[in-house]
Structure 1
Amino acid sequence: MISMNKAMMSAFAAVLSMVSVCGAEKKPAAPVFKGSRYECMIFDRYRKDSGIMKLSSCGKTLFFGDKVYAACKGTDGKQISLAEQSDVQYKWKGNVLSNEKLLCVRNAQAESKEAFAKIKRKIRFSPDRIDIEITVTNLQDLTWAQTWLVCTETLAVVTKSVAGMHISGTMIDNQPINSIIPKKFDKSKWGFNKIVKNMNLTDSEQFSMTVTALPNSLLSFVNYGGTYCDLKVFPNIKPIELKQKAGQETKFGCTIEFGKPE
């Protein structure tokens, strides 16, 4: 367990304190972890979910929610789209947030939400760094649709906050990749739709964020031609590993570090 200094203790005091908001009912506001270079809202009572609900740095909102998506094949061979179900429950131990959620058919009615897998997430908060570790436990025999659709952690990127930033990374063949995030996205012209091992976002002399995949994981910064982009984190598995048994586990994750540009 990482030891906590005075700054860390103060941050956790901020996390655990609940601030009243306006209104007759005076419901508590969402708890927030404040690092030295970032701020993360870990619970959203409006979306009724916990995790990285809103991540900001240097006055910019970078991510707005995290969720695991996946796709498997049914007995008829057709693709079934899956999504992690929202859940407000979470636990704190030391400087680690943990939660458990179920992977069900995407947009299914509540009464028909068959669980395909259990998602365990651990998020370790440090003053200038966030570590995300995810464990997927199959609740039934599964055949995943594609290697990049095996439970992908998806962080919604707020495009207007990162437009104009320089983005660089290292592809899986160790070749470098560089680009500038355009103010108006055009999917046909976006050159960073590549699978990478790490990526860095830099804004002049004020802001730098580096995302590094764990050894068993990969990253992708995806643009769909709309207002939002997604940072995707997914396990690095082989096509031969797509067919899995009930009880089998898949682990993956990443680190997010904040600092000043070099």
Structure 2
Amino acid sequence: MTGPMVEVRGLDVAFGSVQVLHGVDLAVERGRTVGVVGESGSGKSTLAKVLVGEVGPAAGSVIVGGDDLTRHDRTTLRRQRRRTQMIPQDPYSSLSPRRTIAQTLAEAIDPVRARVKTHEDQIASWLSLVGLEPEMMHRYPHEFSGGQRQRIAIARGLVIEPDVVIADEITSALDVSVQAQILDLLAEIKESLGITVLFISHNLAVVQRVSDEVVVLYRGEVVEAGPVERIYADPQHWYTRRLLDADPGSPGFRLAS
């Protein structure tokens, strides 16, 4: 199969009279990581929700693996949506406090017949892959640290072996040392499984570390896109330059006097 794994063409999204995304175009090649950056309100999370089918577009197309998700019937769309999984920003609120980790992962594997015993070996394997002991599957979310819960969220997103993973601000609530561990884990899994990643963050240093290419969103529009090295070394749009100058890791960063 040729062509990008994810291709968005002329995407418009509106909530009532408020236009949130305007003619967004982007492409993510198979096995690559594209970082999406922008300030709060730029449309990053809305784009993520469109890609996993939580929000419908007013116009445009969303193509995953050659299939246009905006043109399918509900049954086909439901099947296609399993190819694209979201790793959430806040894993604690996304994990049911009344379910063990095994129950949560079993439901992700088979939403209709979520039997832990049937999928126990698979669950143990995925927990090991994200650096957790298999016996931890019988614990509840409150028994884990923030970094461990994010590892569980990654396992839940990957357990059905999707083609595309969307990581939406997945390190924003973590300590710096834990952030590094989660980023390293995601990079290792991406390489071993060959998955395609859309990495959404306001943290430019994090995006630079994990991404092959960068897309810059400003007020719902793509204002700049390209290889990460070029964008960070020679930004062409004033908004990109402003983001970089405001980032503590940037040479242009200055504290206000």
TM-score normalised per structure 2: 0.23
Greater share of helix residues, 1 or 2?
Answer: 2
Greater share of strand residues, 1 or 2?
Answer: 1
RCO comparison, higher one (Cα < 8 Å, 6+): 2
TM-score normalised per structure 1: 0.23
